[in-house]
Chains A and B, each alone.
Chain A
Amino acid sequence: MTWKWESQREQYGRALVELGKERSDIVVLDADLSSSTRTADFASAFPERFFNCGIAEQNMIDTAAGLAASGKTVFASTFAVFGTGRCYDQIRQSVAYPKLNIKIVASHAGITVGGDGASHQIIEDIALMRVLPNMAVIVPVDSNETYKVIKTVAKTETPVYVRIGRADVPTVTDKDTPFEMNKAKVMRDGMDVTLIGCGIMVSKCLEAAEELAKHGIDARVINLHTIKPLDEKTIVKAARETGGVVTAEEHSVMMGMGSAVAMCLVENFHVPMKRVGIPDVFGESGACNELMEKYGLTMENIVEAAHDVLKRKK
């Protein structure tokens, strides 16, 4: 399959500027990475509502809390590694616990950060954010969806973590389909096995489905953009109808999206399952595609997992 590759960050910047025009309660914070996260676009359009906090992520999150407690809708951005782990206590105490209107939109998540290496490749942010009560977790699948997610979460009044990447990603949705928060999106129907992906891995699931089709296997593909709250209904329905599930995420297999799905299925409808994701190790420097291969994030990995699940199906 050939994809058009587009930037999620660009759409984040565009959506923010539109929001700034539409609403005066929108304020944006960054931590010396505005040129990378693209909050710089908002900063130049609305300098009086943009605050660069410097390289001080903890400071940024508590400042966001004060602004939100005073009626503002706050978008706070930096790289995902610094916007979650670096300021975890601030998020826990001052964002999630008081349930404040803060959207943490973090870029450069996952291993596709590439050359910067393990220090910058956060593979545990979904895990960190999804264990926090009151925190929603969304992984937009592509550039179109990023734009819609930003416009949608701006209408909510509670904490949301939005995870986007550094690299351009395959465009798998169109501009017009509305984005439904909390509702997993079935991208392809199928009755033999279900492939559930998030982020860049949805495109790999679609490729895997094509490959499986060549062998007469009819795979359902689901874009699980909202990892919390989890759309259990769609997941259980897919498990019941297809009898086997593979998850695929650019994240550690420890406590990420796949684990969320596994927990849901163990309690609701037990089927053979396999999680494709980064094993319990740190990443390293390298080119995106090399890293995806080395750390088990390819279409082939998904196909193999699907075969394994099919074998275990009764």
Chain B
Amino acid sequence: MEIYDGEFIAELEAVAKRVRSHSITMIYRAGSGHPGGSLSGVDVMVALYFHIMKHDPNRPDWPERDRFVLSKGHAAPSLYAVLSEAKYFPEKELETLRKLGSRLQGHPCMRKTPGVEMSTGSLGHGLAAGNGMALAAKLDRKLYRIYVLCGDGEMDVGETWEAAMLASHYKLDNITMYLDRNKLQLDGPTEKIMSLEPLADKWKAFGWHVIEINGHSMKEIIQATNEARGVKGRPTVIICHTIKGKGVSYMEGSLHFHGKAPTDEEYKQAMKELGTADQ
């Protein structure tokens, strides 16, 4: 993979900023959606689609492609914005989020949106589905890799840990999970609703290779992913320390913006901070 020169990282960061702007605009236009969780995972998704993964927007079903599963499906707006930036479909279509007849459903639908690998929205399914893809790759002796993005709220879900066991039992070193550790779920802080710590130790105990990074640093995301590719015989989880609502000052660390669209005033302010994506 390339050297991390400043210019290259700056390009990724510029894409991430546009994706954030698109995401907020889409949610604002739709009048509903989940801004907080959409913003916290943006940098991971941009690093994946614009640097790490091999994929081809002209052939979304290319058999050799790497796969990305958005387990925290409520972050759909940012996935759609990334896919549109990556040219899976026209930017104009982002306007249709959550509208009747749109290919862009409130939560990802693999039968409707080109580039979406798995239908999600009910939390806690994505890692197991990713495992299935990883098993298929092994069966077919393919080299493609599986990347899954989970919310920390999803660590409450029993199935997450069932999948954690399966991945290490079958030595799935071709799957990497990014854990969006923004420390908030819907009803409050994770440590207040259902405490997760010591989280890294839990994953280690389940047989995973664990890396902890700043989830908003492109450089750290790419380095950690490179490290994960080198790990043989077991899966890797990258615990990404992030900020819910990252990029819009009043959304950062805010519970209110877990599942609420910004008002007109709030939207203007957000665009001031992010710049409108179509400039």
Contact = CB atoms under 8 A, between A and B. Distances in A.
B33 interface: yes
Nearest to B151: A55
A82 B159 CA distance: 14
Nearest to B100: A286
Contacts of B156: 32, 53-56, 59
A286 B99 CA distance: 5
Interface string A153-192: 0000000000000000000000000000000000000000
Nearest to B195: A54
Main secondary structure, interface of B, reads loop
B209 interface: no
Contacts of A294: 100
A291 interface: yes
A219 B193 CA distance: 51
Given A119-B107, A120-B107, A55 B123 contact: yes
A56 B159 CA distance: 9
A285 B73 CA distance: 14
Contacts of A284: 100-101, 105
A56 to B, nearest CB: 5
A290 B102 CA distance: 13
B100 A116 contact: no
Given A54-B156, A286-B99, A119 B119 contact: yes
B122 A81 contact: yes
A117 B107 contact: yes
Contacts of B194: 32, 52-56
Contacts of A119: 73, 105-107, 109, 119-122
A55 B109 contact: no
Most B CB contacts (10 A, CB to CB) among A40, A82, A117, A118 go to: A117
A40 B255 CA distance: 14
Given A56-B157, A56-B194, A286-B99, A116 B187 contact: no
Contact of A32 (B33, B73, B104, B185): B185
B32 interface: yes
Given A32-B193, A287-B100, A55 B106 contact: no
Contacts of A86: 122
B32 A114 contact: yes
A52 B187 contact: yes
B100 A290 contact: yes
Contacts of B33: 115
Closest 9 CB pairs of A and B: A119-B121, A54-B194, A54-B156, A286-B100, A117-B106, A115-B98, A117-B105, A55-B156, A116-B106
Interface of A: 30, 32-36, 40, 52-56, 58-59, 81-82, 86, 114-120, 284-287, 290-291, 294
Interface of B: 30-33, 73, 97-102, 104-107, 109, 119-124, 153-154, 156-158, 185-187, 193-194
30 contacts: A32-B156, A32-B186, A35-B187, A52-B187, A52-B193, A53-B194, A54-B156, A54-B185, A55-B123, A55-B185, A55-B194, A58-B158, A86-B122, A115-B32, A115-B33, A115-B98, A116-B121, A117-B109, A118-B109, A119-B73, A119-B106, A119-B109, A119-B121, A120-B107, A120-B122, A284-B101, A285-B98, A285-B105, A286-B98, A286-B100
